[in-house]
Structures are given as C-alpha cells and as structure tokens.
Structure 1
Amino acid sequence: MTDLPTFQDRARAAETAMRAVFPPTPLQRNALLSDRYDADIWLKREDLSPVRSYKIRGALNAMRKQPDRDLFVCASAGNHAQGVAFMCKHFGKRGVIFMPVTTPQQKVMKTRMFGDGHVEIHMTGDYFDETLKAAQDWCAREGGHFLAPFDDDDVIEGQASVAVEICDQLGVAPDLIMLPVGGGGMSAGVFSWLNGRSSCRFVEPSGGACLRAALDQGGPVTLGHVDNFVDGAAVARIGDKPYALLRDVPADDVLVLPEDRICRTILEMLNVEGIVLEPAGAMSVEALDDLRDEIRGKTVVAVTSGGNFDFERLPEVKERSQRFQGLKKYFILRLPQRPGALKEFLNILGPEDDIARFEYLKKSARNFGSVLIGIETTDPANFDRLFARLSGSGMTYQDITDDETVAQFVL
C-alpha cells in the first residue's frame, strides 16, 4: 500500500510547479535590521513576486489541481484578484472576478492588466461581504470553481511554498519566522510545513486581529469592526481551515500592532532601503521591535508579504507615522480676537516647532475665536514644553490628536 503524500510533500510539489511560472522570490539579509537588533535578519521578499504579493502561490496551486475546470471565480479587493488574474492568463482559463465598488481604480486596472483578456471584472457591493455573496451566488449559477483567498486547502498548500523556499535558500530552518496574518492562509501553511522546526510569530493589525480573537474565544469569531487601513490583512474572521491548523498556537505568539505604528516601517523601508511595502507587507518587520531580547543572536526571517502600495496614500502614511511617534499633534486653540494675539502665539512656538496646519473655526464668543492648529516637531518632548508655555501664557487649548470622534470632522 502506497503512503499518501504528506502536507510537506504536497507543498514541495507546489513549489516545484511554481518554477514553470516564476523564480523563487529573493531571501535577502538586511544589514540595517541586523545591526539594529543584533541578530541575523532576513527578508523574504514576496513583494517581488510577479504580482507583488504571495497570493499568486495559492492561486497557482489551486488552479493546477483543477485542470478540467475552464471557469474560476473569486471575490477580492486586491492581491488575491491579481494572483487569480495572472494565473488565468497563464493557464488559458476564464476568470470572473468580483470587486467592491469602492476598490481603487489602480487595483482594478492591474487586475485587468494581469488577466490580459482572460478575466472579466464585476464591480458590485460597497462592502466586501456583499461582494463575496454576489461572487458565490454567480458561481453557483454558472458552475465555476470558486477560488477562496485563504479558506481553501489547495490555497493553503500553495502559500506553504514560502516556507519551502526559505529553508532551501537559507540551507536550514531559521530560528524564527515572522508571519503577517490576514485570513490565515499563508501563516497556516508556513506553520504547518515547518512542523516545529522554526518558531513562528504571527502579526496582525489591531483593527483586524481575527486570529488573536479566535484563539482567545476558542474558535473563529467575526469582529464587530474592522479598520481597513491595513487592507491586505483587514479580515473580520479568520478562515475555518487556517484556524484548524493554528488552533494550538499560544495567544502570546500573536503580536497585535496599531495601524499608525506600522506606518513607521513603511516609511523607513521606502526612504532608507528603497523597498516599497504595503501596510500588510510591513507588519512582520515592524513587529521585530517587540522581540528585541528574544531574537538577539538568532537567525530571523520576516516575510514581507506584499508591495502593492498606492502612492496616493503616502501623505496619510507619513501623518500616521508622525502621530504615532509623537512628532505631530493637533489642538484647538482659543485665541483672543485682538491685534497681536496671533503674534503672541507664534512667539510661544519653539525653534523646532513647525506649523503644518492653521485654520480658523467658527467663533465661540464675540472676543475669542477657535483655531485648528497642526504642529510638527523633531522631538516628542518639545510638545511638553510647548503646552507648558501655552498654559503659562493663559491661552486655552485642547489636544485632539487622539480624539477619533473630533478628528473625523476637523482633520
């Protein structure tokens, strides 16, 4: 009796099949991070795949296992759609891709470009749940094969090829692998293939920590609210199949990062290293900072999962990074409506305090007006000194930097 192939065997076969489509993505040692953390830090550059994310792997593996299927259907607002489109062209299959109406045109155009006549795109639904239902209903009517982005055994198996390549390129399993988590397909695949040969840490955005919630609750749960800023990992519910493979992961091995903090790494990788990462692709690098003591002297691989970054978002990324680091604040100043009042305020500013925004709001009384002030500086301590001088001068102000309700209306 022939033994059935193991998960490791199947992932290895998937990795071998990929060589007909694209070479292994680079595994690069990063000197900046290695010096910073006194460790041997490597980046697995999934942002350099043909579609600038690892999603091509799952699509390739799932489609090669369905050679008799001519129609593949998916719902996606980004990377999964591009991976499916690319592979539809490669295999000569027909693809029907459903995308939310709110999807940026850049992503729609890239999906159409990768499909090159082999895919049709349906824009439907303001929210992804609506788009997903429309795709599944259409697929049920037309008889196509629905290709889920992460809750699919063949997709998970294909994403596991990331681990196969890492170990082949490094020549040994690393001490630790940092894995970004969205729906859980890649993290479950890599974790399962390694089978304890490397430690794994899983990284989620605070506005989409569905793995952490599932581990805390003992099973997948749907988050009540999702912050879509880290769009490649903004998932409300981890897949059932990925969770089944990750259910025994200690909750403390899941690191949850604020969205604003992730922006710090996006900017540093871009400005210092010349590496373009989307927010989800930067998570594994940023999370290294939480493990300084643990990783010292070890070999660590951080998976940079994607680089589909819309540069129109760069001002927002810079703003979020500055706010997280305490280098930019907004406040409402109650300014007397008399000659010289503005000059008095300007004299209070320190030499490193730069006005980034100055906007009069409606007057709160005859003799006073409210002003929205945005200040950038070079050291968070400068704000303590500025606010002390404001209080000493008798000027009334309110710091609204972290007041999300107010910020929605005035920032």
Structure 2
Amino acid sequence: MSDRSLLDQYVRRILEARVYDVAVETPIHAAPLLSKRLGNTVWLKREDLQPVYSFKCRGAYNRMAQLSEEQLARGVICASAGNHAQGMALGAKHLGIRAVIVMPRTTPEIKVRAVRNHGARVVLHGDAFDDALLHARELEEKEGLTFVHPYDDPDVIAGQGTVGMEILRQHGGPLDAIFIPVGGGGLAAGVAAWVKYLRPDVRIVGVEPEDAACLKVAMEKGRREVLKEVGLFADGVAVKQIGKENFRVLKHYCDEVITANTDEICAAIKDTFEDTRAVTEPAGALALAGLKNWVAKHGAEGKALIAIQSGANVNFDRLRHISERAELGEQREAILAVTIPERPGAFRQFCQAIGKRAVTEFNYRYNDPQQANIFVGVQTRSGGADLLPLLEALRDKGYPVEDMTGNEMAKLHIRHMVGGPSPRNDLAELLFRVEFPERPGALMAFLLALGGRWNISLFHYRNHGAAYGRVLVGFHVRAGEQSALRADLKQIPYPMVDESDNPAYQRFLA
C-alpha cells in the first residue's frame, strides 16, 4: 500500500467515524501565560473535557459501533488500567450491551469506581496490564465476547483521528506543529493521518515519557521493539511497545519524537492549571511538556503550536507529589547538598551567602561536632539560569556544595528522611530503590519477600496515590555477604536500582 493510499484509507474511516453519540467536540483554549513566557503562541486541545475526562471514548465507541448485531448481542471486553476502560463502559451503556473490563488490581479506586458507575462489570486480575490482558483474552474465548483493543485497531485509530479533524476545523490560521502524547499510538496515528492529508506542512510531534519511549526507539531502529521496563508515573502512556498498526502510520507521518521527564510533566500540569484552572493527569500534560522541550531544543520563536491535553483522570492523592516536583521541572527550585560549619550562626551566614533567594526546604540533623551536611531547597529563576552562578558563589565563599536537582533518589526519598548515618560501623550497608505494585497488603508482601535472613537498616516508603509504591531500603551485611544479598534480591520480581554509591546517600545517610 502506498503512503497516499494509506492516508486515503484513514481519512475515509475518520470521516465515517461514529463518535459523537458519546463524545463531544472539545474546544481549543489559548494559553496566554505560557505563550508569553515561551515567546510562541500556544493552544491546548481540551480532551480532558470529554464525559469520561479523556479522549479514549472516541476510539472505543467507534470500534463498538462497527460491530455486527450478533457481536453486540454477545458483548464486549477489554483490558485497561483506566481511560480506555471508562470509554468502553460509557459506549457500552449507550449501546445497551454487556461490557466486561479487566483491570489490574493496582488500578486506583477512582478509576474502578468510574467504570462500575457506567454499568460495566469489572474484573480485577493481576498486578500489571499484561496480566489483565492475558486474562481478558481468556474471558473473550470462554464467554464469546468481542475484544476491543485500546489502540492497535484501525477503527480505534479512526475514532481518535476525529481529534485532528476538529483541530483543523477549529483552527484556521497559521499552525506550525501539533504535539500529541504517545502510549500505544492510537491518538497520534489518527491525528497524524488526518493532518498530513490536509495540511502536510504542519509538523507532527509525538511526545513520550523519557522512561517509556517505545515510539522513539521504534523510529530510531526502523522496527518495533519491546522495552524491558517502563516508568509508571504517566501511567496512561506506560506502554512497552508501540502498536503494530499505529507504527505503520507513524513511521511515515510522525515528523519527530521528543521526550519529557517526571519533573517536566509535573511542571506542565502546573502550567495547564495556571492558564485553564484544569488539573490534568500526568499523561494529559505530557504533550505540553514536550512542546516546552521542543521550543527549548529548537530555539523556536513566534510559532503557532497546539498541544493535546488528553485526560484528567488523576487521583487526588497524587497532587502532593506533583506539586513537590513541579518547581523542579520548571527549574524554579534547586536541591543542594551543602557542607556548613557546625557552630551557632552558621545557617544564618549560609542564608546570607545565597542572597535574596528564598530557601524552600532545609533538612539537617546534628552528627559531627565540626561540620554539618544540610539538604536545602533554593528558589531559582525560571529555567535555572542563575543556578550555576549560585553554585560558583557558594564555592567561592568556602561552602562545599553538590547539585542534587537531578538525583531521583534524593528527590523521592532522602529529602524526607535526612537523619544521619547508621551507628553500626562494624557492618557494611547496601541501599536499594524498589518499585512494587500498590494495593492493600502489597507493602507487607514485599517485606515477606525479603525473607528473614537480612537485617533491614533503613526503610522509607511513601504512597503517592499511584499504581506503584516506591521504597528505599538498606541492609546491614557482614564482610563477604554482599554477593549473597544481591543474589537474594534478584529473586524478588520488582524493578530495583542499587543506590549504594548514590552521592545523596553518601552525604546524608552513609
């Protein structure tokens, strides 16, 4: 199939897509504060205003609307951790058909409750999406249901493509680029197909979390690859492999893929709130985070840019974590490890040394009669342009200082537990950062998995309202036992990072 015939096929499907029985045409809102700051004109396509607070109802309903009467009579099934599930449940309710939604047991209660409120049957199975998907396929066969894929299906792609149709109809002026969040690629493929057919001059930029960049890898290698691990912060786009049909479109019509990290996504959530008073989920702000990175990368000025604000299904509990990281993502806060003299008045002198910048955080515990290691947050100008001069000024004044702003362990754990080293100088200590499925009893299951052989010397756990819990755990080991400990930890089926050499640990806890 030629490139043009592929576009013809999808444009026809998009024109015929049945989405407005359940979806609404969402507006494009200007982002004046962000536009002024970036020196470009920025708009947000507000898919968070859908009845299920996400664009997913478009593709899910369009797929179900294409089913035969026999298939509709038997019902539909899907595996989803959230937004696709809600879109399916809403569509099935409108059609008056049976819907079974298989969700991981780690799915936040707000999403489970939303699906049930639309009348769908929820089956909780497994700790991750892959477990739920396997069980959904088993139920599909056993109960004669029709499976509706969340992204890798032409009808789903066409349904999501109506977002692109609305963008070009609503925005008739100059348009340089559209930024689209990418998980499995349904939204990106649909929008790209429509826009490139009518406006091939408009740049299509896919945006992924830097720790779940399956499209970026596929574009670089020219083929789809399965990522070994994906980050879970932006759970709506935490996909290990781009869809097959989606990549068939995107390899031709996605001009560029750009990534954003957790802090940058949090900053974009704050930007969205300041311009629209809407609170998005992490995946919902991903496109805007990518837009900001793209502007910085290319030095863009005076461009007309649209970011698709794809969803707002966020647990209220997560807002604490998001607000903590937003200033770091905007580079308006720096986290520093500084050594100051242990004497009265030393902190006052340090504050004088940093000038008029506000201290946003200060963690300290007495440990040494000569010097103190402090963990301090300092307000900086947007973009962090004044951070390097600050570091140089502090060093000139005799303060040993280390920038911890990019240190994930320091931001997730150390800032909440600065307390000094272990008193057991006769034993070595090894430190690990772990992620495990977040559900009732999961923390106890993790502790039981560690067994009784090893003595835990340090433990920090903080629930961020996400699907996965994060733990920092230390172990005391005797000489010659380090290899045995690492071998035992490999048997625990959770992502784990050895942080024993992390400078934040060495300064504050070692």
| TM-score range relative to shorter protein | 0.7 to 0.9
> Does the CA-based 8 Å contact 1:209-1:256 persist in structure 2?
yes
Q: Aligned residue for 1:209?
A: 213
Q: Does 1:226 align with 2:230?
A: yes
What TM-score comes out, normalization by structure 1 length?
0.85
Aligned partner of residue 197 in structure 2, secondary structure: coil
Structure 1 pair 350/87, CA: closer, same or farther in 2 (3 Å)? same
Q: Aligned residue for 2:257?
A: 254
Aligned partner of residue 125 in structure 1, secondary structure: coil
How far the C-alpha of 1:23 sits from its partner, in A, is 3.2
Q: Aligned residue for 1:372?
A: 375
Choose from 236, 239, 246 the match for 1:242: 246
Q: Aligned residue for 1:52?
A: 53
Aligned partner of residue 244 in structure 1, secondary structure: helix
Q: Does 1:268 align with 2:264?
A: no
Greater RCO, CA 8 A, separation 6+:
1
Taking only the aligned residue pairs, the percentage that are identical comes to: 36
Inter-partner Cα distance in structure 2 for 1:400 and 1:92: 55
Choose from 334, 339, 342 the match for 1:329: 334
Residue by residue, what CA displacement relative to the aligned partner does 1:54-107 show, whole Å, maximum 9, x if unpaired?
100011111111243232111111111111111121111222212222222222
Higher alpha-carbon deviation: 130-139 or 74-83 = 130-139
Q: Does 1:13 align with 2:37?
A: no
Structure 1 pair 355/21, CA: closer, same or farther in 2 (3 Å)? closer
Structure 1 pair 157/408, CA: closer, same or farther in 2 (3 Å)? same
> Does the CA-based 8 Å contact 2:31-2:42 persist in structure 1?
yes
1:88-107, aligned counterparts within 5 Å?
88-107=92-111
Structure 1 pair 406/38, CA: closer, same or farther in 2 (3 Å)? closer
How far the C-alpha of 1:355 sits from its partner, in A, is 4.0
Inter-partner Cα distance in structure 1 for 2:365 and 2:390: 20
Aligned partner of residue 247 in structure 1, secondary structure: helix
Inter-partner Cα distance in structure 1 for 2:354 and 2:198: 56
How far the C-alpha of 1:270 sits from its partner, in A, is 0.3
How far the C-alpha of 1:267 sits from its partner, in A, is 0.7
Aligned partner of residue 11 in structure 1, secondary structure: helix
Q: Aligned residue for 2:460?
A: none
Inter-partner Cα distance in structure 1 for 2:160 and 2:343: 65
Inter-partner Cα distance in structure 2 for 1:334 and 1:31: 42
Inter-partner Cα distance in structure 2 for 1:381 and 1:40: 23
Residue by residue, what CA displacement relative to the aligned partner does 1:120-147 show, whole Å, maximum 9, x if unpaired?
2222222222222222222222221111
Amino acid at match of 1:281: G
What TM-score comes out, normalization by structure 2 length?
0.70
> Does the CA-based 8 Å contact 2:359-2:376 persist in structure 1?
no
Aligned partner of residue 74 in structure 1, secondary structure: strand
Q: Aligned residue for 1:313?
A: 318
Amino acid at match of 2:80: S
Inter-partner Cα distance in structure 2 for 1:325 and 1:174: 26
How far the C-alpha of 1:211 sits from its partner, in A, is 0.9
Structure 1 pair 340/276, CA: closer, same or farther in 2 (3 Å)? closer
Amino acid at match of 1:317: I
Q: Aligned residue for 1:399?
A: 403
Aligned partner of residue 271 in structure 1, secondary structure: helix
Amino acid at match of 2:243: G
Residue by residue, what CA displacement relative to the aligned partner does 1:9-62 show, whole Å, maximum 9, x if unpaired?
222121xx3333343122344444555666664432211111111100011111
Q: Alpha carbon RMSD of aligned pairs, Å?
A: 3.0
Q: Aligned residue for 1:160?
A: 161
Inter-partner Cα distance in structure 1 for 2:32 and 2:271: 14
Structure 1 pair 175/141, CA: closer, same or farther in 2 (3 Å)? same
Equivalent residues, number: 399
Structure 1 pair 257/406, CA: closer, same or farther in 2 (3 Å)? closer
How far the C-alpha of 1:239 sits from its partner, in A, is 0.6
